[in-house]
Amino acid sequence: GKPVTMQFVPAPAGSGIVFVRTDLAETPGIRPVLDNVVATNRGTIISENGASVHTVEHVLAALRGCGVDNLEIRISSEEPPVLDGSAAGFVRMIESVGLTVQETDRDYCSVNDIFSLAEGDKTMSYLPSDHFEVTYHLAYADNLVAPRHLHIDINPGMFKTRICRARTFGFEREFDMLKQQNLARGGSLENAIVIDNHGKVMNPGGLRDE
């Protein structure tokens, strides 16, 4: 619900990704690393050096999908622009200027064993693989939305044509609760998929991907 300006600025090799809050006196930097995650309620919030940035997942997805390793993200408020509720606008922004290959080897983290995480009725398992693939199953207890299943190999082409276009979604029945939590203040059918109390998509154009 607030105005914001965001710039992607090239950074030296080895810098990693850093959000810089240009609206704050000391222009503090916030790195999107696990130790800096402070909340994950309807969006990922990262905090460092006395400052925070909310709802960073679409920006970070675009950077990962486009292969960006080093970048300074100058942002004039605590949350990136919502755009259309997906990562697609950030991908277009990156593609419009192109990438530079830097003369430093990438550091990689490898998964060598199977491990799982669980919280309530949500589970996630990681399995070793020689490429990035995702199997996803969605099911709600009340069956308001029919169960969905997807298996997909995620490469740069697939990310740009399908994954980055996926929008935030929510339910009509959640509006009052979100307002009470001071969330989704700028939310509309222009930047989120909304499912009504009968399980129907309210957006005039429907879904972008089955």
* pLDDT tens column, 109-127: 888 999 999 999 899 999 9
> pLDDT value at position 191?
82
Distance from C-alpha of 14 to C-alpha of 65, rounded to nearest angstrom: 19
pLDDT band at 182 (very low <50, low <70, confident <90, very high): low
pTM of the model: 0.88
Whether residue 60 is predicted with pLDDT greater than 70 in this model: the reply is yes
Whether residue 175 is predicted with pLDDT greater than 80 in this model: the reply is no
Please give the C-alpha separations between residue 185 and each of 53, 74, 142, 177, 201, in angstroms, as whole numbers.
Answer: 16, 22, 27, 12, 20
Indicate the range of 22-31, 87-96, 102-111 predicted with least confidence: 102-111
Mean pLDDT of 54-65: 96
> pLDDT value at position 158?
93
- Greatest mean pLDDT range, 18-32, 142-156, 162-176: 18-32
pLDDT band at 170 (very low <50, low <70, confident <90, very high): confident
Paired residues of 19 in beta bridges: 30, 73
> pLDDT value at position 202?
87
> pLDDT value at position 48?
97
Q: Are 58 and 43 in contact (CB under 8 A)?
A: no
> pLDDT value at position 186?
65
Distance from C-alpha of 176 to C-alpha of 42, rounded to nearest angstrom: 14
Whether residue 178 is predicted with pLDDT greater than 80 in this model: the reply is no
- For 203, which DSSP code? S
Cβ-based burial of 90 (10 A; exposed 0-12, middle 13-18, buried ≥19):
buried
As a residue count, the chain comes to 210
For CA atoms 34, 20, 2, 90, give the dihedral sign. negative
